[in-house]
Amino acid sequence: MRRTGVLFVCLGNICRSPVAEGVFRHKVMAAGLESRIHIDSAGTGTWHAGKPPDPRTIRTAAARGFDVSTLRARQVSATDLLQFDHVLAMDRSNHDALLRLSPPAHRHKIALFMEYAPHTGFREVPDPYYGDDSDFEQVLDLVEAAADGLLARLKGQLS
Ligand code: 4NP
């Protein structure tokens, strides 16, 4: 059976999208759906390619039981738009970059991740890179909420 592909995208692929990948994978495994959903993350920029997540990302995720230490950053490519079913941007800037990158026929796959958690009042996951620990905690809060909404939506589509 073909797996549904979900790609999380931010700027550097060392703060927000690795958290989204780790948190969503954790929830998908807890739901027993890992054979049905393929999960990855990438960044629109190249600077951090090959690097592990930011130490603050690893630490705040680990404190909530999510291990993202083995992830490595990579840049998103046009091929990703062909291969994934859902390409979820952390903020509007990432969203716009993905629209520019995507072949026109695949643009419908691109959305803001926070659309899956409208009750939070956030439309974007704010970039924590120049922030402090509270900004990284906020990334975890928002990502956990949107991951729950996304999983609920995909469960409905898979069953
Ligand atoms: P991310 O955070 O997009 O959530 O991975 C950032 C990481 C690095 C930079 C900016 C944002 N940077 O400017 O290097």
CB under 6 Å to ligand 1: residues?
A: 10-16, 43, 47, 127, 129
Average pLDDT for consecutive 10-residue bins of the chain (159 residues)? Answer: 94 98 98 97 96 98 98 98 98 98 98 98 98 97 98 92
- pLDDT of amino acid 159: 74
Q: In what order do the strands lie in the sheet with 37-43?
A: 37-43, 4-10, 86-89, 110-112
Residue 122 pLDDT: 98
d(CA 95, CA 29): 27
Residue 6, strand partner residues:
39, 86
C-alpha torsion 145→52→73→8, nearest 10: -10
pTM score, whole prediction: 0.98
Residue type, 23: V
* pLDDT at position 158: 87
Catalytic residue among 15, 16, 54, 80: 16
In 3D, which of 28, 44, 41, 39 has the Cα closest to residue 6? 39
- For residue 106, the model assigns a pLDDT of 98
Q: How many CB atoms lie within 10 A of CB 107?
A: 14
